[in-house]
Amino acid sequence: MTTLPADAVVDRRTRPKDRKQRILIKAAELFRASGYAAVAMSDIAAGVGIGPSALYRHYRNKQELLLAAFDQALSRYEEAVRGVDDPFEVARNVVGIAAQSQTLDALWSRDKGHVGPVARSELRVRIVEVSETIAAAIAKDAPPDAVPADAAAWSILAMVNWPGHRPLPVPPGDRDRVLSAAVRAAVECARRPDSSPDMAPRVTDLPVPMDPGSGLLPVARREAVLNAAITMFAVHGYSNVSLDDIGDVVGIAGPSVYNHFSSKRELLACGLDRAVAAMWLELGQVLSRSVDAAQALDDLLACYARFAQAHWDLIAVSLSHSVALDDEALLALARAYQDYVGEWRRLVQACRPELRSDEAHALVELALAVINGVVRVDNLRGPALPGHAQLLAKAVLNAPLPV
Query: Looking at residue 382, which CATH number applies to its domain?
Result: 1.10.357.10
In a domain, 148, yes or no: no
In a domain, 117, yes or no: no
**pLDDT score of 10:** 43
In a domain, 99, yes or no: no
pLDDT band at 195 (very low <50, low <70, confident <90, very high): low
Q: Which domain holds residue 210?
A: 203-397
Chain segment 167-178, per-residue pLDDT in tens: 899 998 898 899
In a domain, 136, yes or no: no
Q: What is the CATH number for 33?
A: 1.10.10.60
Q: How many domains does the chain have?
A: 2
Q: What distance in Å separates the CA atoms of residue 394 and residue 183, rounded to the nearest whole number?
A: 12
Chain segment 45-62, per-residue pLDDT in tens: 999 998 888 888 899 999
pTM greater than 0.85: yes
Chain segment 13-47, per-residue pLDDT in tens: 556 778 899 999 999 889 988 888 889 999 999 99
pLDDT band at 97 (very low <50, low <70, confident <90, very high): confident
The residue from 28, 45, 60 where one domain ends is 60
**pLDDT score of 241:** 92
In a domain, 13, yes or no: yes
In a domain, 153, yes or no: no
In a domain, 86, yes or no: no
Chain segment 377-390, per-residue pLDDT in tens: 999 998 999 999 99
In a domain, 152, yes or no: no
